[in-house]
Amino acid sequence: MGSISLKNVKKSFGEVQIIPDISLDIKDGEFVVFVGPSGCGKSTLLRLIAGLEDTTAGTILLDGEDMTKAPPARRGLAMVFQSYALYPHMTVRDNIAFPLKMAKASKEEIDKKVEYAARTLNLSSYLDRRPRALSGGQRQRVAIGRAIVREPKAFLFDEPLSNLDAALRVNMRLEITELHQQLKTTMIYVTHDQVEAMTMADRIVVLNAGNVEQFGSPLDLYKKPANRFVAGFIGSPKMNFVDGPEAAKHNAHSIGVRPEHFKLSKTAEAGTWKGKVGVAEQLGSDTFLHVHVDGLGLMTIRTDGDQTFSHGDDVYLTPDQTRIYRFDAAGKAI
Amino acid sequence: MARNVSVQTRIGFTIAAWAIALLLFSPILWVLLTAFKTEAEAIASSPTFFPQTFTLENFGAVQDRSDYFKHAFNSIVVSVGSTLLGLIIGIPAAWAMAFAPTKRTKDVLMWMLSTKMMPAVGVLIPIYLIFRDLRLLDTLQGLTIIMTLINLPIIIWMLYTYFKEIPVDILEAARMDGAELWNEIVHVLVPMAVPGIASTLLLNVILAWNEAFWTITLTSGRAGTLTAFISSFSSPQGLFLAKLSAASLLAIAPILLMGWFSQKQLVRGLTFGAVK
């Protein structure tokens, strides 16, 4: 079991309020991602759940039991840190065995679980090495191994892949997702990378300035963003926003169109916006065009990779009328 | 990139380094040579460099007069005991200051350091009276306690500096792995801080070994350490220079050897954190 409930949790550091008031319910076995820009309080929220920070107010329930005041050691959670946080003076074997030693497990049990974790994570041939003799990816695997052997109620990941290079990050992302499917244990994963959030999560919590902007499945967030912040944060490249008279035509304070929801042509059509291509980023499969639209500003358009445009070309953009997002003055979706 | 240093500059620096080293070592060398001279030769108006008549009688004389081995034993008990006691108090204190600081932590550290700036004689009378009333005068326990107290600020400061270099994530990982405070300190913090703790230990053993003011003031016959042993040989009259040298040599020899064998550790410890 591993359900986690936060009830009106608040956190301040002195005068500075980091988390004004958050309530969340995370179901047993769910993979939940906390995502948001730097300084939005996502890591603090994770540390509050872990018990590494004290709450200023509110209640944290693990499997229905009040753990607000319990020290981290008693919460039965495991955490994987951004810096890996391996014990440098211990071998990989001792690193993985450490939580079991703390739990006073028998030697046979420790050996069995360490071997199992090492096999699962392809670490068997590195068990007698020290962390400094491992690559970044291997270190992260050891950190995950150390978390697995505890058989925790839930895993907490604090930006675990941000120190890895791009290719390794994609691999580890898959490995963690597979691990979740295999273990079916609750996982909370903090990241600022919305691609990680979209690809890994069952549900995503979008945080901004310590508040939950939206909590839902990745596709919910993409298709039905609750507000302008979520609409802008989820999706890559980010949504284009238009204010003023053009938005008023749709009875909104502002409207948003995703880069992939435009029809692009080189000849004028009814209802189109005219612009000039600024930069064309060609990725092979796709091309991202940054178009300066007359009277509306810079817009990003996703088009297929075979299209060839160059700087200064005139283009006409037609937003897909069924996929225009409308927002009121407060930024809420209409 | 390696810096280009000319041969002349290198020779110049080497000569300067040797000159300074010899200058610092010269009193010890003089003590070493004098200890093997006769009293008459030691005070001769035209001093000799090497002993003309090599003699060991000074060593026999000092052992006969004031039992070297008893004083050496006292020195070991007080310096090792006070250092261990200091570490037992200092490690948790430095942990708290490095990993759970409050608004006042910096003030506490500065206050502790400021106690080292006060001349010891300033608190002589109260300490003496307290020791007299608690019957701690001329006892090894009393001397160990006072040595712990006077060196504690240095122990805590040094450990605090080393602990600050340890990433807090690792201690938090231990907490998440189910380690209570005691296990966190014993299994994670201390093994990671071994170089720092070792150099703190070495430096404090040396400081306690060489301490003279409190030792001479608070002890007489029973609990006197080697510093008291040396001072008993300094006398305004009579032939004592060779015996004083022999006593000094006997007193400094153990710590000199310890310093020699652990110099790598000491230098590493003292420059720890200076270069990342």
Residue of A nearest to B177 (CA): A99
Instruction: Please give the pLDDT value at position B239.
Output: 66
> Is B64 an interface residue toward A (CB < 8 Å)?
no
Which of B170, B177, B180, B190 should one mutate to test binding to chain A, selecting the residue with the greatest count of A CBs within 10 A? Answer: B177
Same-domain pairing of A20 and A45: yes
SS3 B173: helix
Name the one residue in this structure whose structure tokens are 């009328």. A321
Same-domain pairing of A280 and A158: no
Residue of B nearest to A155 (CA): B176
Q: Do the domain assignments include residue A106?
A: yes
Q: Specify whether the CB–CB gap between A86 and A131 falls below 8 A.
A: yes
pLDDT digits (tens, 9 = 90+) for B123-154: 999 999 999 999 999 999 999 999 999 999 99
Task: Please indicate whether, in this complex, the C-beta atoms of B170 and A73 are within 8 angstroms of each other.
Answer: no
Q: Do the domain assignments include residue A127?
A: yes
Q: Do the domain assignments include residue A81?
A: yes
Kindly report the CATH number assigned to the domain that includes residue A247.
2.40.50.140
What's the rounded Cα separation, in Å, for the pair A204 and A191? 11
Could you please report the per-residue DSSP string of A312-329? Answer: T-EEEEEE-GGG-EEE-T
pLDDT digits (tens, 9 = 90+) for B47-70: 888 888 888 888 888 888 888 889
Same-domain pairing of A260 and A177: no
Task: Please indicate whether, in this complex, the C-beta atoms of B192 and A86 are within 8 angstroms of each other.
Answer: no
Same-domain pairing of A223 and A243: no
Task: Please indicate whether, in this complex, the C-beta atoms of A88 and B172 are within 8 angstroms of each other.
Answer: no
| Backbone angles phi and psi of A317, in degrees to 5 | -110, 135
How many Cβ contacts (< 8 angstroms) between chains A and B? 62
| Residue B186 C-alpha, separation from nearest chain A C-alpha, in angstroms | 12
Same-domain pairing of A109 and A125: yes
Sheet of A31-35, strands arranged across: A77-80, A154-158, A186-191, A31-35, A203-208, A211-216
Largest CA distance in chain A: 76
Instruction: Please give the pLDDT value at position A45.
Output: 94
What's the rounded Cα separation, in Å, for the pair B155 and B161? 10
Q: Which of A175, A207, A232 is the last residue of a domain?
A: A232
Task: Please indicate whether, in this complex, the C-beta atoms of A79 and B170 are within 8 angstroms of each other.
Answer: no
Task: Please indicate whether, in this complex, the C-beta atoms of A72 and B176 are within 8 angstroms of each other.
Answer: yes
Instruction: Please give the pLDDT value at position A81.
Output: 92
Same-domain pairing of A271 and A129: no
Kindly report the CATH number assigned to the domain that includes residue A127.
3.40.50.300
Apex CA A321: angle with CA A238 and CA A221, to 5°? 40
Q: Do the domain assignments include residue A334?
A: no
CA distances from B180 to A37, A81, A159, A319, B126 (A): 34, 19, 25, 59, 41
pTM of the model: 0.81
Task: Please indicate whether, in this complex, the C-beta atoms of A52 and B188 are within 8 angstroms of each other.
Answer: no
Sheet of A4-13, strands arranged across: A16-26, A4-13, A57-62, A65-66
Q: Which of B:174-193 have CB within 8 Å of A?
A: 174-180, 183, 187-188, 191-192
- Quick one: residue B67, left, alpha or beta (phi over 0 = left, psi -120 to 50 = alpha)? left
What ipTM did this prediction achieve?
0.85
Residue of B nearest to A74 (CA): B178
H/E/C letters for each residue in A110-175? HHHHHHHHHHHCCCHHHCCCCHHHCCHHHHHHHHHHHHHCCCCCEEEEECCCCCCCHHHHHHHHHH
Nearest residue to A26 (alpha-carbon basis) of A185, A147, A149: A185
> Is A99 an interface residue toward B (CB < 8 Å)?
yes
Neighbours of B23 (CB within 10 A): 9
**Domain limits of chain B?**
67-232
Task: Please indicate whether, in this complex, the C-beta atoms of A102 and B179 are within 8 angstroms of each other.
Answer: yes
Q: How far is C-alpha A86 from the chain's CA centre?
A: 23
The two three-digit tokens of residue A147, written as one number: 């978390």
Contacts of A51 in chain B (CB under 8 A): 175
Sheet of A254-257, strands arranged across: A240-243, A254-257, A325-327
Instruction: Please give the pLDDT value at position B276.
Output: 34
Q: Do the domain assignments include residue A332?
A: no
Instruction: Give the right CATH number for B67-232 from 2.60.40.10, 1.10.3720.10, 1.10.760.10, 3.40.50.300.
Output: 1.10.3720.10
Same-domain pairing of A13 and A110: yes
Largest CA distance in chain B: 74
Same-domain pairing of A186 and A316: no
Same-domain pairing of A165 and A258: no
Q: Which amino acid, residue A324?
A: I
Task: Please indicate whether, in this complex, the C-beta atoms of A150 and B188 are within 8 angstroms of each other.
Answer: no
> Could you list the mean pLDDT of each consecutive 10-residue stretch along chain B, which spans 276 residues?
76 95 92 90 83 87 84 94 96 94 92 89 92 94 94 94 91 93 92 88 91 90 86 71 88 86 72 47
Which residues are registered as beta bridge partners of A255? Answer: A242, A326
Nearest residue to B65 (alpha-carbon basis) of B192, B235, B207: B235
Domain hosting residue A314, numbered range:
239-327
What's the rounded Cα separation, in Å, for the pair A2 and A188? 11
Q: Do the domain assignments include residue A263?
A: yes
What's the rounded Cα separation, in Å, for the pair A81 and B167? 12
The residues near B177 (Cβ < 8 Å, ≥ 6 apart) are A73, A78, A98, A99, A102, A146, A150
Neighbours of A83 (CB within 10 A): 17
The sign one gets for the Cα dihedral A57, A61, A64, A65 is negative
- The count of structural domains within chain A is 2
Same-domain pairing of A228 and A249: no
Instruction: Please give the pLDDT value at position B274.
Output: 45
Q: Which residues of B222-253 are buried (b: 16+ CB within 10 A; e: fewer)?
A: ebbbbbbbbebbeeeeeebbbbbbbbbbbbbe
The residues near B135 (Cβ < 8 Å, ≥ 6 apart) are none
> Could you list the mean pLDDT of each consecutive 10-residue stretch along chain A, which spans 334 residues?
92 92 94 93 94 94 94 92 92 95 94 92 91 90 91 93 86 90 93 91 94 94 94 91 88 92 81 86 89 90 84 88 91 89
Q: Which of A209, A232, A255 is the last residue of a domain?
A: A232
Task: Please indicate whether, in this complex, the C-beta atoms of B177 and A150 are within 8 angstroms of each other.
Answer: yes
Residue of A nearest to B180 (CA): A73
Apex CA B156: angle with CA B153 and CA B162, to 5°? 140
Task: Please indicate whether, in this complex, the C-beta atoms of A83 and B177 are within 8 angstroms of each other.
Answer: no
Q: Do the domain assignments include residue A147?
A: yes
> Is B102 an interface residue toward A (CB < 8 Å)?
no
Same-domain pairing of A192 and A220: yes
Contacts of B170 in chain A (CB under 8 A): 85-88
Task: Please indicate whether, in this complex, the C-beta atoms of B192 and A87 are within 8 angstroms of each other.
Answer: yes
Same-domain pairing of A193 and A302: no
Q: Which of A232, A254, A275 is the last residue of a domain?
A: A232
Q: How far is C-alpha B186 from the chain's CA centre?
A: 25
Q: Which amino acid, residue B101?
A: P
Q: How far is C-alpha A295 from the chain's CA centre?
A: 35
Q: Are strands A154-158 and A77-80 parallel, antiparallel or unpaired?
A: parallel
